[in-house]
Amino acid sequence: MKTEWIAVDWGTSHLRAWAMRGDTVLDQAQSDQGMSRVAKGAFQDALLALVEDWLGDAPVDVVACGMVGARQGWVEAPYTAVPSAPVPGLPIRVPGTDPRIRAFVVPGLKQTSPPDVMRGEETQIAGFLDTHPNWDGVICLPGTHTKWAQISAGEVVSFRTFMTGELFDLLRGHSVLQHSVGEGWDDAAFAEAVEDALSKPEQLAARLFGLRAADLLHAQDAGVARARLSGLLIGAELAASRPYWLGQQIAIIGAEGLSAIYAKALQKQGAFVETADATRSTLAGLTKARNLTRQTA
């Protein structure tokens, strides 16, 4: 079947594309040509290398979200200030593209105080809200830079980013903890660490070194250490984001495994949580953005 348009999720470390007809996926492709690997001026080539087979004679719309809209990206798509609908208007048209495509980039969101930014998550939020009309509450998008967004009347009212995922990767891969944190997992150790961190979040830096000491002194299992590291970091994040989620309806949009971990930690706190698939939310958001481009084509 003929490709009607192309959906693109272009983050820091990955490039994913889907051949679309309406909201139906016809084909998909991905590469490691994330925004951090592509030089300014080389974005179109990186994309065409992936999607060339889907193109024909008539120009095809390409709608992209993510870091590709940063200053160093394909085209700068200036942030929209919150409060705002997550995808409030027409995406930014990329000038001077190959005649076989018309390319658009969805702008990110910004918050002036406290200063914060997002690129990509606004599209997932838009997709989630499109399939959950009149949904009010808080959306958590766990990942390298986990976002918490307060949603009311179809708008992102405020949001906050936590470097939880990046801290986990740095500590596991590059700190002294690399000798003590391995593969494996332990649900009880995770739950206990979340409780520890929620009740005394300021102790984080000390409890982190405690993972090393527990290995040296008590030969703590490397999988237990991994679950504890995750629990300490997520628990500290939940302590800080409590004003966001306490007493609220919560939706988690993310990768399956990570979403399940966040859901478990929040449910232990008595929170009501639903989860939504990240890719499906991204595609629904890009479809919504694409419909905006058609209205004005």
Give the x-and-dash track for 34-73 against a copy of itself (CB under 8 A). Answer: ----------------------------------------
CB of residue 161 to a copy of itself, shortest distance in Å: 4
Helix-helix angle 164-174:222-240, to 10 degrees: 150
Compute CA 156 distance to the chain's CA centroid, rounded to the nearest angstrom.
15
Binding flag, residue 280, a copy of itself (CB under 8 A): no
Whole-angstrom distance, CA of residue 69 vs CA of residue 76: 5
For a copy of itself, the binding residue among 214, 222, 271, 292 (CB under 8 A) is 214
Candidate ranges 24-32, 37-45, 238-246, 274-282; the one touching a copy of itself (CB under 8 A): 238-246
**240 forms part of the interface with a copy of itself (CB under 8 A):** yes
Burial of 86 per CB tally in 10 Å (0-12, 13-18, 19+): buried
Q: How far apart are CA 147 and CA 83, in angstroms?
A: 15
**How many residues of this chain interact with a copy of itself, rule: CB under 8 A?**
44
DSSP string, 91-134: PEEPSS--TTEEEEE---EEETTTTEEESSHHHHHHHHHHHSTT
Question: x-or-dash pattern for a copy of itself, window 173-192, by CB under 8 A?
Answer: -xxx----------------
Contacts of 148 (CB under 8 A, 6+ apart): 138, 139, 140, 141, 159, 160, 162, 241, 244, 245
- Interaction of residue 195 with a copy of itself, rule CB under 8 A: no
Interface of this chain with a copy of itself, residues 157 to 176, rule: CB under 8 A: 160-164, 166-167, 170-171, 174-176
Q: Does 206 bind a copy of itself (CB under 8 A)?
A: yes
Residues that bind a copy of itself (CB under 8 A): 79, 110-112, 114-117, 145, 160-164, 166-167, 170-171, 174-176, 200-210, 212-214, 216-218, 233, 236-237, 239-241
